[in-house]
Chains A and B, each alone.
Chain A
Amino acid sequence: SQKIEQNSEALNIQEGKTATLTCNYTNYSPAYLQWYRQDPGRGPVFLLLIRENEKEKRKERLKVTFDTTLKQSLFHITASQPADSATYLCALVGRGSTLGRLYFGRGTQLTVWP
């Protein structure tokens, strides 16, 4: 069956360190992968998209990698800040999906402490 797993439910790191979140998938062949941020009681907010033919994407302090051989994406936040504390979701879009449906992982809750 298809499965998307995010490495852990919770990750706690110290301010200034790099946070690394993992998204693994099985039985998918995604055309691209997205990362979202969700704050408590709010809807998810889109952060980054990476396509199957891209190895790496950056946006300010964020970096995403996508390894279709390992079936894995890594999401990095460098120089982390307490304001980065949130739940981060990965989502896949299947190849040939003309309806734009996303398949979400359950998320990793990141806490950055001062």
Chain B
Amino acid sequence: DVKVTQSSRYLVKRTGEKVFLECVQDMDHENMFWYRQDPGLGLRLIYFSYDVKMKEKGDIPEGYSVSREKKERFSLILESASTNQTSMYLCASSLLSDGTQYFGPGTRLLVL
């Protein structure tokens, strides 16, 4: 079974802090994705990566950056956390072949 893990289930941070969310997958998938999910807005893509050191902006990249130094690991960075970044963050990975995505359990981030 594919396993996607995220470093934290719950996280509380202060405004202005630098926040790192880590995601690891164990199935040698090329693609990895970061989404945020808010009530009524659905899943929104922040960034994705189709190879090591490669990244593409999604629909809402502002205020975020990403890092992919190894194939299995994809990190989301909030350079200076703000209260409007309070959300559920979901990581996913997929093969190129059919795009089926495997999601992690999510990190619920609260920025005070």
Within 8 A of B (CB), among A21-51: 32, 34, 36, 41-46, 49
Q: Shortest beta-carbon distance, B27 to chain A, in Å?
A: 13
Q: Shortest beta-carbon distance, A110 to chain B, in Å?
A: 16
Q: Shortest beta-carbon distance, A68 to chain B, in Å?
A: 17
B103 contacts A43, C-beta separation under 8 Å: yes
- Distance, CA A45 to CA B45, complexed state (A): 17
Known contacts A99-B48, A106-B42, A45 near B103 by CB under 8 Å: yes
A42 contacts B106, C-beta separation under 8 Å: yes
Q: How large is the interface on A (under 10, 10 to 19, 20 to 34, 35 or more residues)?
A: 20 to 34
In the complex, the number of residue pairs spanning A and B with C-beta atoms less than 8 Å apart equals 60
A43 contacts B104, C-beta separation under 8 Å: yes
Q: Which residues of A contact B106 (CB under 8 A)?
A: 41-43
B98 contacts A93, C-beta separation under 8 Å: yes
Q: Which residues of A contact B88 (CB under 8 A)?
A: 41
Known contacts A41-B106, A43-B106, A45-B103, A100 near B43 by CB under 8 Å: no
Whether, in the assembled complex, B92 has its beta carbon less than 8 Å from a beta carbon of chain A, the answer is yes
